[in-house]
A and B are shown apart, each in its own frame.
Chain A
């Protein structure tokens, strides 16, 4: 099942710089997209969501961009902090229900 794909397994960024995490999807029936952060031995923590009718949503240091024609979304974290080091998952909801389909995750490492 490759409906949601995160092609970069890892990303390393310097503290204070921008982190850009990418996600691609194939299913046109997705109506909401979400980003989650996960630390080891914890559950996914909800960060930010975006409706498929929007192209940008911002919450503090986190901004999600959606390019519907390219079926691509990205999460920008500015400025990056060492505490942001975690695995980030992109997820999408099919408009037929509430099931979330997850990508494989990207491990972000923010170096002091």
Chain B
């Protein structure tokens, strides 16, 4: 069964450094998303991406964040200058065109900012 994959599974970085989290969505899906879950808190929406542009973003997704689909398979989240409070699990998700509400999640990347 097709699945969303994410790399790396765990990333440790120092405050102020840039990180890029990578995702390979399900191949025939058209919508791509990033969510995060800070330890002990709810899963929170960050951004959605469709037709090579951001279609929605939350208040969390400020100028420090950016997304890109550099080729036909990868979808990346970049955090330009990490802060301690960016430590969280970051989940990539994707969905089809017809049932865009049914989002399929990857296993997550645990980001630890020290």
Shortest Cβ distance from B46 into A: residue: A99
User: Counting CB contacts under 8 A, is A101 at the interface?
Assistant: yes
The answer on a CB contact under 8 Å between A99 and B56 is yes
- Tell me whether A98 and B101 are in contact in the complex, defined as CB-CB below 8 angstroms, given that A103-B42, A104-B42 are known contacts: yes
Enumerate chain A residues within 8 angstroms of B58, measured Cβ to Cβ.
99
Which residues from chain B contact A101 at a C-beta distance below 8 Å? Answer: 45
Interface size on A, residues (CB 8 A): 24
Inside 8 A of A1's CB, which chain B residues have their CB? 42
With A43-B106, A89-B43 known as contacts, the answer to whether A49 contacts B91 (CB < 8 A) is: no
**A112 within 8 Å of B (CB atoms):** no
Chain B residues within an 8 Å CB radius of A36: 105
Contacts between chains A and B (CB distance < 8 A), count: 60
Measured in the bound complex, the distance between the Cα atoms of B95 and A91 in whole Å is: 15
Contacts of B104 in A (CB 8 A): 46
**With known contacts A98-B33, A103-B42, A104-B42, A42–B108 Cβ distance under 8 A:** yes
**Residues of B in contact with A, size category:** 20 to 34
- Does A98 contact B95, Cβ atoms closer than 8 Å? yes
Which of A31, A34, A41, A97 contacts B102, CB < 8 Å?
A: A34
Q: How far is the CB of B30 from chain A (nearest CB, A)?
A: 11
Residues 26-46 of chain A, each 1 if its beta carbon lies under 8 Å from chain B, else 0 = 000001101010000111111
Per-position binary interface string of chain B over residues 82-114, scored 1 when its CB falls under 8 Å from any chain A CB and 0 otherwise: 000000000101010000111111111000000
A93 to chain B: closest CB distance in Å?
4
Shortest Cβ distance from residue B31 to the other chain A in the assembled complex, whole angstroms: 6
CA distance A36 to B37 in the complex (A): 14
Complex Cα–Cα for A41 and B43 (A):
14
Give me 23 A-to-B residue pairs in the complex whose CB atoms sit less than 8 angstroms apart, sorted by A's number: A1-B42, A31-B101, A34-B101, A34-B103, A36-B105, A41-B108, A42-B108, A43-B4, A43-B91, A43-B107, A43-B108, A44-B91, A44-B105, A45-B105, A46-B102, A49-B101, A98-B48, A98-B103, A99-B48, A99-B58, A100-B35, A102-B42, A103-B42
Interface, chain A (partner B; CB < 8 A): 1, 31-32, 34, 36, 41-46, 49, 89, 91, 93, 97-105
